Amino acid sequence: MKKIVVVLMAIVMALAACTSMQEGKELFEKKCVKCHALEKSLSATKDLAGWEKTTKAMIRYSDGRITEKDAKKIAKYLAGRK
Ligand code: HEC
């Protein structure tokens, strides 16, 4: 019985991680294409800290169209992409 609970928890957690990656991807495709091609970002490989720094810089350029929250999700998506 305990095993089933553990397996279910794992599935729920995997789904939640997937959803937030998907959200980051959508935000990225919507918000980061305004000023330069997505390829510019996709060709760069950075770790999470690097992407948080970059997306923070883009917040400043974007004049409020990208929020801190968006940037965090986008940074997570970009760092987690393989
Ligand atoms: C308001 C316009 C604008 C938006 C929106 C924007 N960028 Fe940029 N981005 C720029 C400009 C201008 C540069 C070139 C200046 C520079 O390199 O700092 C740049 C450069 C970059 C670079 C190359 C420089 C580096 O630090 O690696 C990356 C990667 C990047 N942007 C990613 C993104 C991502 C991811 C988003 C979405 C969160 C985004 N950009 C949204 C204007 C924008």
Closest ligand 1 atom to residue 55 Cα is: 38
Dist. CA 65–CA 32, nearest whole Å: 10
Q: Is the CB of 31 under 6 A from ligand 1?
A: yes
pLDDT at 17: 86
Q: Is the CB of 7 under 6 A from ligand 1?
A: no
pLDDT at 21: 87
Q: Is the CB of 20 under 6 A from ligand 1?
A: no
Dist. CA 66–CA 82, nearest whole Å: 24
Q: pLDDT per position in the chain (82 positions), as tens? A: 889 999 999 999 999 988 888 999 999 999 999 999 999 999 999 999 999 999 999 999 998 999 999 999 999 999 998 7
pLDDT at 58: 96
CA angle 52, 15, 25 (to 5 degrees): 40
- For residue 70, the tally of other CB atoms under 10 A from its CB is 21
